[in-house]
Every structure is written in C-alpha cells, then in structure tokens.
Chains A and B, each alone.
Chain A
Amino acid sequence: MLEIRNLHVAVDGNEILKGVDLKVGAGEVHSLMGPNGSGKSTLAQVLAGRETYEVTDGEVLFNGKDLLDLSPDERACEGVFMAFQYPVEIPGVTTNYFLRAALNAIRKYRGEDELDAFDFIEFVKEKARVVAIDNSLLQRAVNDGFSGGEKKRNEIFQMAVLEPKLAILDETDSGLDIDALKIVAEGVNKLRAPDRAIILITHYQRLLNYIVPDAVHVLVDGRIAKSGGKELALELETDGYTKIAGQRAAVETEKV
C-alpha cells in the first residue's frame, strides 16, 4: 500500500530524513519509534503533505500513485489520514460541520453523493459509539478548549469517521492517562481492517502493550536503524535507544 524509497527531507537546508526506506502493506500495523529529533514527526508531516518540508530525494508511492505529487487535500481524499501530534483548534466551527465538510469533500472526490445533514448525523453518531466519544463533542468547536487528552481522542474519532486507507498516528499516545490510552488503543484496534494500513509513531513503548504491531521500526538520526517484530519494542524499553544508535554507528563505520 505504502512504499517509501530513499526519502531525503530537509527543513531550511538541514537534512532531517537521510534516506528512509519503508514498506507498509494493506492490513498491517507498523510502529515507528525513536528518540527526540530522530525525524519521526517529520516523516508523518511529509506523508501528509506539509509544505515547510522539502523533499530533496526519494519517492513515496501510495497504491501505485506518486504521493508527493498531490496536494494535502488530494492526499486526504486519496485516503491518507494523519492524527496530529498537536491537533489544531478552530474556534467557531463545530466538529459536526467540520467533519461533514471533510467527509463530503472526500466523497465528492471519489464521485460519491454528498451526505446531507441528517444522514451525516446518523452516520457520525454510530462512529462516536465505536470510539466511546460523547455526542456533545459534535456541537463543540473543533478542539477549542479541549484538554490534551480530549484532542487526541477527537483525532481517533475523526479517523473513524473519515475511514482512511492509511492512517498515520503521530504520538497520539503522548500525554494520555492510562484510561484514555486504553480508549485510544481500543479505537485503533477496532479500526484495524484488511484494507487499511496504520503507522503508529510513538515515543513511548507503553502504547504497544495495547496495540500489537506487525512490525516495529526504530528511526535514529533520519534513518531506520533497526526493524523487527513486536519484541523489538520491549528490547528498546530495557536498553533504550542509545544501544541501537551505537549499533547503527558501528554498521556505518563498517560500511566505510
């Protein structure tokens, strides 16, 4: 479904991603871990189409299409969803209105009929149930005055409504208490589907106690330093990133 080849990305001339290769197949859940500043969020932002990042080399194929050629809204319409690390507030615009505008933009793109307000509300209430979100949230302005935890849950809710093909969760688990973490994890587990791929970007291993990934990748200094199964996350928990970073450095030295 998603294929990243030799991706190099720079911001203001500083190279942040230094050749990332990653393949994520339909139905798979991949976890991307790494220390601060390793480039995890950059990768998410580039996939979603943030324009402050400059792709200097490499390519990204999404279901065979060149993803980098599309605008952010086109990518969303193609089925790419990013749960933001810092969800943005939009005062005065209700979540209901916002999500309907989004869903209808996506439906229109796909050549489907737009949902009217009544059909939409039925559809969305069902989704709210799935991710245990209170219906009153729909009438509140998007993320406005939400606590950090509420914002993160709202992202999962939006993911449920927009039914993406590829969901990238950028540190959705950070700052959550244990109950909220379980709700988010449950939401993600419910949304696992054979035609949907999920990338979990996380700073902490804890989330993986509740979501079992198919693969774990460790990003260090702009490159994937190590890939493995779910046991890799536990290894990281005990040894930390330094050891892997060290191994990576050793490999680099050998190459030279």
Chain B
Amino acid sequence: MSNMTSATSPIDQWEKEEYKYGFVTDIETDTLPPGLSEDVIRVISGKKQEPQWLLDWRLKAYRHWQTMTEPTWANIKYPPIDFQKIIYYSAPKLDKDRPKSLDEVDPKLLETYEKLGIPLEERAVLAGVAVDAVFDSISVATTFKEKLGELGIIFCSFSEAARDHSELVKKYLGSVVPYSDNFYATLNSAVFTDGSFVYIPKGVRCPMELSTYFRINAMSTGQFERTLIIADEASQVSYLEGCTAPMRDENQLHAAVVELIALDDASIKYSTIQNWYPGDKDGKGGIYNFVTKRGKCLGRRSHISWTQVETGSAITWKYPSCILQGDDSVGEFYSVALTNNYQQADTGTKMIHIGKNTKSTIISKGISAGHGQNTYRGGVKINKGADNARNYTQCDSMLIGDQCGAHTFPYIEVKNATAKMEHEATTSKIGEDQLFYCNQRGIGMEDAINMIVNGFCKEVFRELPMEFAVEAQKLLEVSLEGSVG
C-alpha cells in the first residue's frame, strides 16, 4: 500500500535564499556622530562646499520640520523612530579631496560595486548605461561623464551640481517637492547628502540609459539622497535607479526625494528597482524606505513615466506622482510591489490633472507572500480646468498563502464633467489551484511559480528597459523563494 504525502504545501519545502547583497564593505569612513541639529546641517553643507542659498534653504526646511509630526495615515506599523540616533553623514574617507578619475577611487569601493554587479570601470560598463554610484552619503563615481558632456548633458552628483550648476539647481530644487511638502521630504530637504543631478538640453535625446546605484553601507546611517532631473524642451531621457544595503539587525532609514521636471515636448522615463535589505524572515532589521518622488509635466505635451519594481525594504512608503500641468501632458505609473516575510508596503501614485487633455495611466501589481502586507494607495485628481482629462487605473493584487494581506485605497476626485475615468481592480490568490493545474500539465513547481508571477507582472515588466526587465524578473524569483509557509 502506498500513501500520499498529505496536506503540506509543496511550496513549503522551498529553501529560503538569503539576501545576496547583504555584505558589508570594510573601509575607513568620515562619519558624524548621531543626532540632528542646525550645526549638523551646517557641517554637511560645509563639507560639500555648498553655496549660501542652499544652506539657508536647508535651515528653513529644518526649522519647518521641527514643527511637523510624523504621518500616521499609511497602512504600516513600526516602532517610533528616534531621529537623534541616526547618523546623518557618513562617507568613505577619500584620499585628499575627491577622486579625479576612477583610478583614485578606493579599490575596496570598486570591489563593492563589482559584487553588486555594477562595474564602474567605463569599459566594463553595460553597453549604453552611464552610472552614478552613491555610497552612504556621497556619490563616489559617475561614468561616461565626458561623453555625455559633449552633448551638453549634465550627469553628476548632486553636490557637484550644487557647486558647478548652482543657478539651474536653485531654479528647480523644491519646485516640485517644496521643502515643506511632508515630514520625510522636509527632513530630506534639511539633511540630504548626495544624489544625482541630470540636465538634458533642448532637443537632445540622451543616447544611453542613465543610472544611479544607491548603497547603504555604514551602521546606524540614514540615507537621504536627492535627485533632480530636468528635461528641457523636446529632450528625452531614460533613468534607472537601483538600491541595496547590507544585512543588519537594526532598521535603517532611507528618506529620499526625487524631483522630475519635463518642459514642452520633453519625456522622462524613471525606472526603479528597489532591493534594499528587507529584514530577515522573522522581520528583524531592514530598511525603512520613506521616499517622496514627484514629477511635474510643466510643458505642453510633456511626458513622465514612473516604473518601479519594489522587492526590498522592511517598509516601503512611496507614491511616485505626476503633476500634469502642461496641456496634453501624459503621466504614467507602472508598479510591481512584492512583500514577503514581514515586509510592509504602502505604495501607489497620485495623478493631478491641471492642464487640458491630460492623460494618466496607473497599473499597479501588488504581490503579498508570507506575512507581507501590501497596500495600494492611489489618487486621481481632475481639477476644474482640466477639460477632457483621462485616467485609466488598473490595480491587481495577488496573495500567496493565507497569512498575508492586500489592501486597496483608490481616491478619485473629479471636478470637471468631461473627465473619462476607468478603474479596474482584482484580488486573486495564487494558490494550490493554479500550481496544481500547471503541475497536472507536467510543469514543475519552481517553473510554475515563476510562470504565474511573471505573467501577473507582465504589463509592468514590459515598461522596463530590456536589461532591467530581465533583472527585475530574476529579483522577483529570488524574493519569492520560500514564500509560503
């Protein structure tokens, strides 16, 4: 007589793969003691040799921040953060001033990026991708700078831009996300340390993908980077951001701000693959990812597209948004957010239609596994003057196992009768049923899970640049291993 193995799910037996970017780089750092004060801000600004106006702006933000309280509306749970225990500045100690070329960069740093799969040596760089690498608080290297410079494209660290392109920075910094915008954005405005700056001149189509890799290395450090991208009239750029951090038992804060500005006929495509350390399988450690990302379609017929694949972080709180100010402008948001183990994500977008004939598309795919909690929060606002505005929202949730949760909060505010709105939402469970169906056709367990999840995310993956779509797909597969049980 033979017996069938009963009731335990075959996915239970999957082995958990460890977070593979969790190593620590042992290098000498220049680190400020923990804590936040006006003096700390002055030191940060001083280290970066910033112009006076920027220091003043930071201080204004800091003073405003002190009057604010942490938001509590999001569907996430975490113990209170002690902002005085965070280190606001940590940088690899660089010989003398700054490296003039890659040869001067600490070999250990280069090694770190090699391990992450981001070679900084230009010849080894993925064909057609220029990289800016941000390590803790500062940008360590930007590749392909000269080549881009020939086209008039500025692609450099934010600190450098603040010194060398002060007028441009001054004109646009805070023009999309004001210093007073929200608790974390205001904190960022006061203490941001580095980030990327991009300016694409009129009529230029950026010939390669621009990319920034963010890495949190030092302990107890918060990372507060600031990215500003300006696409001048009729220009085009595609930008990719990737993130990793070492495995630590403590929670680290990442509060970034990204501002995008698209002028007439300009187009910006911003893709994120966020893989910050998510904490271990019991929910210990991991990054708190509280990010404000917003783009302004300032010009007519301008176009901003956000694509994000969020697999990391203990907590993700971000809503890449578009202000559709120019007539005929277009905003898009494509998102895959995956929460496994004890991860929590409250993410979505806001589309604010101001101009006439503006269009927005929202496609959100939430995947919850383990004890993960995934919330989609999306707002669509059609202002009074926004004649013929259109929005299409599709919001799908997938549950893997029965300990996780998916929540959907759509907010729609229409003040113009000519608006055309579509909304679709589904919640489904990838369960034994789908897997058994695949198995019954001869397809093994591992292939079946990947097939089902990738099918679910298809509409978002196809928005990513080719190389990254493959990376995103793999990342999802790795993140889902050991997902049920």
By a beta-carbon cutoff of 8 Å, the part of chain A in contact with chain B is 46, 48-55, 57-59, 66, 68-69, 71-73, 75-77, 81-82, 84, 87-93, 97-99, 101-103, 105-106, 109, 141, 158, 162
CB contact under 8 A between A93 and B455, given known A68-B2, A88-B433: yes
By a beta-carbon cutoff of 8 Å, the part of chain B in contact with chain A is 1-10, 432-434, 436-445, 447, 451-452, 454-459
Chain B contacts for A50, CB-based, 8 A:
436
Instruction: Assess whether A72 is in contact with B451, with CB atoms less than 8 Å apart.
Output: no
Instruction: Assess whether A101 is in contact with B2, with CB atoms less than 8 Å apart.
Output: no
Instruction: Return the contact of B10 from the options A51, A59, A87, A88 (Cβ within 8 A).
Output: A51
Instruction: Assess whether A101 is in contact with B1, with CB atoms less than 8 Å apart.
Output: no
Whole-angstrom CA separation of A55 from B5 in the bound complex: 9
Q: When A and B form their complex, which 3 residue pairs have the shortest distance between CB atoms, in order from nearest?
A: A92-B455, A93-B455, A72-B439
Chain A contacts for B454, CB-based, 8 A:
92-93
Instruction: Assess whether A72 is in contact with B440, with CB atoms less than 8 Å apart.
Output: yes
Instruction: Assess whether B433 is in contact with A77, with CB atoms less than 8 Å apart.
Output: no
Instruction: Return the contact of B441 from the options A57, A89, A92, A158 (Cβ within 8 A).
Output: A158
Q: How far is the CB of A14 from chain B (nearest CB, A)?
A: 14
Chain A contacts for B439, CB-based, 8 A:
49, 71-73, 76
CB contact under 8 A between A101 and B437, given known A92-B454, A106-B442: no
Chain A contacts for B6, CB-based, 8 A:
51, 54
15 contacts between A and B (CB under 8 A): A51-B6, A51-B8, A54-B3, A66-B2, A68-B4, A72-B436, A72-B440, A73-B438, A77-B442, A88-B433, A93-B451, A93-B454, A102-B442, A105-B441, A162-B441
Instruction: Return the contact of A105 from the options B10, B442, B452, B457 (Cβ within 8 A).
Output: B442
Whole-angstrom CA separation of A55 from B6 in the bound complex: 8
| Besides A52-B432, A90-B455, A99-B441, 8 new A-B residue pairs in contact (Cβ under 8 A), listed by A number | A51-B8, A58-B1, A66-B2, A68-B2, A72-B436, A75-B440, A102-B438, A105-B441
Instruction: Assess whether A55 is in contact with B10, with CB atoms less than 8 Å apart.
Output: no
Whole-angstrom CA separation of A58 from B436 in the bound complex: 23
Q: How far is the CB of A55 from chain B (nearest CB, A)?
A: 5
Instruction: Assess whether A92 is in contact with B456, with CB atoms less than 8 Å apart.
Output: yes
CB contact under 8 A between A76 and B441, given known A50-B436, A66-B2, A88-B434: yes
Q: How far is the CB of A180 from chain B (nearest CB, A)?
A: 21
Whole-angstrom CA separation of A77 from B7 in the bound complex: 23
Instruction: Assess whether B444 is in contact with A55, with CB atoms less than 8 Å apart.
Output: no
Instruction: Assess whether B443 is in contact with A69, with CB atoms less than 8 Å apart.
Output: no
CB contact under 8 A between A102 and B441, given known A52-B432, A92-B456, A93-B451: yes
Whole-angstrom CA separation of A168 from B422 in the bound complex: 42
Instruction: Assess whether A102 is in contact with B443, with CB atoms less than 8 Å apart.
Output: yes
Chain B contacts for A72, CB-based, 8 A:
436, 439-440
Whole-angstrom CA separation of A59 from B386 in the bound complex: 70
Instruction: Assess whether B2 is in contact with A59, with CB atoms less than 8 Å apart.
Output: yes
Instruction: Return the contact of A98 from the options B10, B441, B445, B457 (Cβ within 8 A).
Output: B441
Whole-angstrom CA separation of A76 from B9 in the bound complex: 19
Whole-angstrom CA separation of A84 from B6 in the bound complex: 21
Q: How far is the CB of A184 from chain B (nearest CB, A)?
A: 19
Chain B contacts for A93, CB-based, 8 A:
451-452, 454-455
Instruction: Return the contact of B3 from the options A55, A75, A162 (Cβ within 8 A).
Output: A55
Who on chain B is nearest to A10 by CB?
B6
Chain B contacts for A71, CB-based, 8 A:
10, 439
Instruction: Return the contact of A92 from the options B438, B442, B458 (Cβ within 8 A).
Output: B458
